Structure 1
Amino acid sequence: MSNSSYDYVIVGGGSAGSVLANRLSQGGTRSVLVLEAGRSDFPWDLFIQMPAALTFPSGNPFYDWRYESDPEPYMDGRRVAHARGKVLGGSSSINGMIFQRGNPMDYERWGADAGMESWDFAHCLPYFRRMENTLAADPDDEFRGHDGPLVLERGPATNPLFGAFFQAAQQAGFPLTDDVNGYRQEGFAPFDRNVHKGQRLSASRAYLRPNKSRSNLTVLTRAFVTKVNFSGETATGVTYRRNGQTHTVNAGEVILCGGAINTPQLLQLSGVGDAQHLRNFGIKSVVNLPGVGENLQDHLEVYIQHACTQPVSMQPALDVWRMPFIGMQWLFGRKGPAATNHFEGGGFVRSNEDVAYPNLMFHFLPVAVRYDGQKADAKHGYQVHIGPMYSDARGSLKIKSSDPTVHPSMVFNYLSTDQDRREWVEAVRISRDILGQSAMAPYNGGEISPGARVQTDQEILDWVAKDAETALHPSCTAKMGPASDPMAVVDPLTMGVHGTKGLRVVDASAMPYVTNGNIYAPVMMLAERASDLIMGKGTLAAQHTEFYRHGISPLERDTSANGQALKG
């Protein structure tokens, strides 16, 4: 057993951990250790560097923790697989590379809760801008950043199927927008992507790798943290396993960045959680925090697939015999079908007039294929991914063993609420309406999935229960909130874990509510802002910039009143 000491020990070298490693090690005065349980994101690893290879790491134990839910009670007892990155860069090294901030109203909702005032959109916007280098945005655009480490390319969306889809959306009554991450999210447009010059730009590549030579920054891969060590209620360091040996490292502060599954599991294993539950496994309680593992949220999605009557889709690129040629194109020029994530465009809509901002997100692909690489039985095809974005369904995560290698119990309770079921029916019907418009007629070879047999509300819900997959956005299991909230885990002013000293959480688990889009960008923003809170250097000044609100003119806007209406 070896001993050493650092100012900061960061548990998890994923999206948030990469940001913190960069920011906390700046200036060379603070020693930082990053402990990542997975492998390194080697530059020659095609599965994680080639954008179109995104289907290969999921389910592969070399890259993926391979979690799955318990039998979901409202989905006929199905277990839903949850891929989570087990590699430097975390899930940003295996995800779909889609960059969505969420709607400004998401952060107004955060800021409307007691004690969360400093997490409204005006306080978050400067951090989105700090991390971004948005190539497609006007340099004078006050919403977008232009010199951050995260280079964002806009999807070209030049395949004729994208043009037809955008036109069909307008025919169905939905607008286009200039930038879904700008003034107006609502509408359809090409999407920003974490793809730069034909290669995946993970959090590790953007934040960590350019700074790994800093003398005060140490990054260890294949280092599996098994416990946070305490003296009383003060975190003193961690225990981890590496190369078959157990190590203890001391820390001025321990920062958990393992994500919405790993972080609450490690907290519970370390004695921070519901004391009664922990006693069942012989774990001594350090701090009784019943909110650890609760408030679990996610996005569920389905694929609505169509055959394509014209040879314009990317379906042939899925043929095994073509893959060597496509791979060579990418290897020697970073071009061709392998140089894109194919999630190049989509949109955000409101499915009913009871919601204040878009509750559905569409991803359109000029190919019909599932996330695991299973392609539809069609020579050519296309599809949309669709699902509710801020469902009121809530789940929980609990350890089921004191052995840290045993995955925790997770129940998401998908389809468990009236709101969720209503919005699922609306989502499928709106998708079909768009795909059935005349603009798509020259390409529409008929619906493959779910197919004509699924028509009634109940048939739609039955199909969703049978066929839906997670969009891979688990979150909110150690939510920010004041100590007066019995279910809050993280202090929103310091990112410290309530009732402890020297222990912080910075990742998707700290989000109080899931945002209405892919969560990579919000996690990166949260980590950027947390880095300033941790160093006590003062946060960036709030930027009070007007953004689009449906049905409300600028003169009528009252942020505080609107925010209060979003609580819940």
Structure 2
Amino acid sequence: MSSDTAYDYVVIGAGSAGCVLANRLSADPGARVLLLEAGPKDSYPWIHIPVGYFKTMHNPATDWCLKTEPDPGLNGRSLAWPRGKVLGGSSSINGLLYIRGQPQDYDQWRQLGCTGWSWEDVLPLFKRSEHQERGPDEFHGTGGPLSVSDMRVRRDICDAYIAAAEELGIPRNPDCNGAMQEGAGYFQLTARNGRRCSSAVAFLRPVLDRPNLTVMTGATVQRLVLTGKRVTGVEVWVDGAVKRIEVRREVVLSAGAIHSPHILELSGIGRGEVMQRVGIPVVHHLPGVGENLQDHLQARSMYRSSVPTLNDEVNNFFRKMLIGVEYILFRRGPMSMGASQAYIFARTSPAMDTPDVQFHIQPLSSDKPGEGLHRYSAFTASVCQLRPESRGRLEPRSSDPRQAPAIHPNYLATHTDQRTIVEGMKLARRLAATKALSPFIVEELDPGAKVKTDEELLVHARNTATTIYHPAGTCKMGVDAMAVVDPALRVHGIEGLRVADASIMPTLVSGNTNAPTIMIGEKASDLILAAARHASYAAAA
């Protein structure tokens, strides 16, 4: 085992939050910063083409290719859970959709004791990161590293969905990240000139020439090194050997909702009985590690279309070539599309104060990303419950860092979650029956006409619903006994260690998680730099 030169800060994970931290912390030329990433550099060309998520998800070159345990709520099915293993993390393989969630999400965090995390507190951080194509306003910023742009392609089916929502009393809303979330419109993307703007592209690439910033790829963290209850180093597997890296100030875990709690438990920080079961010595009992797992579960409705869809274009050699030419020449067309084109945020009941379901509309159909499109004209609307009550957990399988943890999502475990997914599917059918949308539909392929009652819809969801790739909550922030980090993101009972990624969310935000995770990276940077300034003042006093 060799020892490298000490660093002031070591950030573990070059994902959505980790790249932000590397940028902001290395802005201090007096601080040496090391960013560790288990995956490779983001040189695979499909990473940078928006529609390339079809090539990067389920691809071991860029994806951890995780799988859940058989889940009782899904009738014993195991799901693939893509997670980015590359510079940029999941922001390099995701669907590019820019959604912040509802102001009430963050106000709830504040009500749970997370001082400094209300909507009023975090909105400036969202704006600081952002370069909004439409220009600045009360809710949006310009001049930030993260480009947020309008969809560079429109589709008649998506327009019809927006009109269908209006027929049902759901308003048109061109900005679900603005004054209100409720409504229907086209997604904005984390894209710049028709190319993916991952966290690595936005935050890391512009500062790679800083002499005080080191980026180490192909570096798998084995464990944190503790002296008493303080983290003083990190052991990593890189270039075929284990290296120990010394840390002078802080380690920041930004490895994501799966790997951050896993690294904690490999280091002896977590649930004592769980670690002992697999032979990991207990250094610090912290029962919330790996608990509180939340995810958005999507139920898809697919329709055979009366008009050609993207399926037809992709399955025709000459039209497929034209798609490529259009993208190369103009950075437009289907290759510039994100994972979905249009959204609908809606309430399944008038009793709801805010939307409780989100639709992702796609002018295409497939079994799953990476498996190609169906060879017939069809389109898809998937619906997910925004605020699931069900809570799952993670557990280490062994003390071997190379073995992924066991993932127990525990989907559809509560009556509210079951009711909401059923009501969401029924809303999908009401949309399909509108004057605006029904002319586009030949037949409902999925769930299909045979699935009629609420009970049958729930069974269908258990048999077919899948993740929409938003795991969170496994190192939750808070002040209760199950909290893993405090509102300053410091791990309870351990010095020199913070967590900054989607795992710290006490409750899942009402929408896609990439933008909120980037915000968490911004917040963590401010907290760490403020602590460093305070320490400097104290030392000088």
Query: SS at the partner of 2:91?
Result: helix
Q: Is 1:401 aligned to residue 401 of structure 2?
A: no
How far the C-alpha of 1:442 sits from its partner, in A, is 2.5
Query: SS at the partner of 1:237?
Result: strand
Match of 2:76 in 1: 77
How far the C-alpha of 1:156 sits from its partner, in A, is 4.6
How far the C-alpha of 1:53 sits from its partner, in A, is 1.8
- Structure 2 spans left out of the alignment, 5+ residues: 534-541
How far the C-alpha of 1:302 sits from its partner, in A, is 2.1
How far the C-alpha of 1:126 sits from its partner, in A, is 0.7
Q: Is 1:218 aligned to residue 209 of structure 2?
A: no
Match of 1:564 in 2: none
Match of 1:18 in 2: 19
Query: How far apart are the structure 2 equivalents of 1:373 and 1:176?
Result: 32
How far the C-alpha of 1:288 sits from its partner, in A, is 0.7
Match of 2:67 in 1: 68
Query: SS at the partner of 2:389?
Result: coil
Query: How far apart are the structure 1 equivalents of 2:339 and 2:81?
Result: 21
CA displacement 1:433-483 (0-9 Å, x = unmatched): 01221111331121111111111111111111111110010000000012x
Contact 1:479 1:490 (C-alpha < 8 Å) held by counterparts: yes
Contact 1:64 1:84 (C-alpha < 8 Å) held by counterparts: yes
Query: How far apart are the structure 1 equivalents of 2:452 and 2:476?
Result: 39
- Structure 1 spans left out of the alignment, 5+ residues: 540-568
Contact 1:156 1:190 (C-alpha < 8 Å) held by counterparts: no
Q: Is 1:383 aligned to residue 380 of structure 2?
A: yes
Query: How far apart are the structure 2 equivalents of 1:331 and 1:237?
Result: 46
Match of 1:549 in 2: none
Identical aligned residues as a percent: 39
- Structure 1 length as normaliser, TM-score? 0.91
Contact 1:154 1:344 (C-alpha < 8 Å) held by counterparts: no
The 5-angstrom pairing of residues 345-360 of structure 1 reads 345-360=342-357
* Root mean square deviation, CA, Å: 1.7
Query: SS at the partner of 1:74?
Result: helix
Query: How far apart are the structure 2 equivalents of 1:469 and 1:52?
Result: 20
Match of 2:536 in 1: none
Match of 2:538 in 1: none
The letter for the 2-side match of 1:303 is R
How far the C-alpha of 1:330 sits from its partner, in A, is 2.9
Match of 2:117 in 1: 119
How far the C-alpha of 1:308 sits from its partner, in A, is 1.4
How far the C-alpha of 1:307 sits from its partner, in A, is 1.4
Match of 1:129 in 2: 127
Query: How far apart are the structure 2 equivalents of 1:377 and 1:57?
Result: 19
Instruction: Classify 1:445/1:300 alpha carbon distance in 2 versus 1 (closer, same or farther; 3 Å).
Output: same
Instruction: Classify 1:354/1:150 alpha carbon distance in 2 versus 1 (closer, same or farther; 3 Å).
Output: same
Match of 2:181 in 1: 185
CA displacement 1:307-346 (0-9 Å, x = unmatched): 11123x2222332735455334434542332122252221
- Structure 2 length as normaliser, TM-score? 0.95
Q: Is 1:245 aligned to residue 241 of structure 2?
A: yes
Q: Is 1:438 aligned to residue 439 of structure 2?
A: no
The letter for the 2-side match of 1:40 is K
CA displacement 1:403-439 (0-9 Å, x = unmatched): 0111111111111100000001100000110122111
Match of 1:507 in 2: 501
How far the C-alpha of 1:55 sits from its partner, in A, is 1.3
The 5-angstrom pairing of residues 448-467 of structure 1 reads 448-467=445-464
CA displacement 1:240-275 (0-9 Å, x = unmatched): 011211111001211100000000000000010011
CA displacement 1:505-534 (0-9 Å, x = unmatched): 000101100011000011111110110001
How far the C-alpha of 1:47 sits from its partner, in A, is 1.9
Query: SS at the partner of 1:136?
Result: coil
Q: Is 1:413 aligned to residue 407 of structure 2?
A: no
Match of 1:29 in 2: 30
Contact 1:532 1:538 (C-alpha < 8 Å) held by counterparts: no
Match of 2:161 in 1: 165
Query: How far apart are the structure 1 equivalents of 2:492 and 2:246?
Result: 21
Q: Is 1:526 aligned to residue 520 of structure 2?
A: yes
Match of 1:517 in 2: 511
Contact 1:156 1:344 (C-alpha < 8 Å) held by counterparts: no
Query: SS at the partner of 1:7?
Result: strand
How far the C-alpha of 1:383 sits from its partner, in A, is 1.3
How far the C-alpha of 1:378 sits from its partner, in A, is 5.3
Query: How far apart are the structure 1 equivalents of 2:438 and 2:12?
Result: 51
Of 483, 486, 495, the match for 1:491: 486
Instruction: Classify 1:361/1:538 alpha carbon distance in 2 versus 1 (closer, same or farther; 3 Å).
Output: farther
How far the C-alpha of 1:375 sits from its partner, in A, is 5.4
The letter for the 2-side match of 1:531 is S
Query: How far apart are the structure 1 equivalents of 2:242 and 2:375?
Result: 52
Q: Is 1:428 aligned to residue 428 of structure 2?
A: no
CA displacement 1:30-70 (0-9 Å, x = unmatched): 1100010001001xx22211111211111111111111111
The letter for the 2-side match of 1:126 is P
Aligned residues, how many?
Answer: 530
